Amino acid sequence: MHFLITGHTGFKGTWMSFLLARKGHEVSGYALDPIPGSLYADTTIKNRLSHDYRADIRDRDTLGRAFAEIKPDVVIHMAAQPLVLESYKNPRETFESNVNGTLNILEATSNTPSVKAQVIITTDKVYKNKRQRAGYVETDELGGEDPYSASKAMADILTQSWIKSFPGVPTAIARAGNVIGGGDVSKDRLIPDLIKSYLEKKPALLRNPQAVRPWQHVLDCLAGYLKLTDYLLDGGADSLWNFGPTSEEFMEVSKVADLVGKDWGVEPAWKHDSMTYPKEAHLLALDSSKVRQNLGWREIYDFEKSVLQTSEWYKLVHSGVNKEEATTNDVENFLLRLTS
DSSP 260-315: HHHHTT-SS-EEE--S------SB--B--HHHHHHH----SS-HHHHHHHHHHHHH
pLDDT at residue 114, rounded to an integer: 98
Cα 192 from Cα 300, distance rounded (Å): 22
Q: What is d(CA 297, CA 283) in angstroms, rounded to the nearest whole number?
A: 24
User: Does residue 30 or residue 83 have the better pLDDT?
Assistant: 30
pLDDT at 173: 98
Dihedral sign for Cα 292, 297, 301, 306, please.
Answer: negative
pLDDT for residue 129: 86
pLDDT, position 134? 81
Q: Three-state SS string across 133-159, please? A: CCCECCCCCECCCCHHHHHHHHHHHHH
Catalogue all structural domains in the chain, each as residue range(s) with its CATH number.
2-333 (3.40.50.720)
CA 205 – CA 275 distance, rounded (Å):
10
Residue 281: which pLDDT band, with cuts at 50, 70 and 90? Answer: low
pLDDT bin (cut points 50, 70, 90) of residue 26 is very high
Closest CA to 318 of 254, 256, 263, 257: 263
d(CA 262, CA 246): 24
The predicted pLDDT at position 311 comes to 97
From the CB of residue 246, how many other CB atoms can be counted at a distance below 10 Å? Answer: 17
Quick one: pLDDT band at residue 133, thresholds 50, 70, 90? confident
Q: How confident is the model at residue 277 (pLDDT cuts 50, 70, 90)?
A: low
pLDDT over 70 at 137, yes or no: yes
Q: What is the pLDDT of residue 275?
A: 73
DSSP 286: B
pLDDT for 282 equals 67
Question: What digits encode the pLDDT tens for the residues 155-187?
Answer: 999 999 999 999 999 999 999 989 999 999 887
- At 12, the pLDDT band (50, 70, 90 cuts) reads very high
CB 57 within 8 A of CB 6: yes
Percent of the chain topping pLDDT 70? 98
Q: For residue 96, is pLDDT > 70?
A: yes
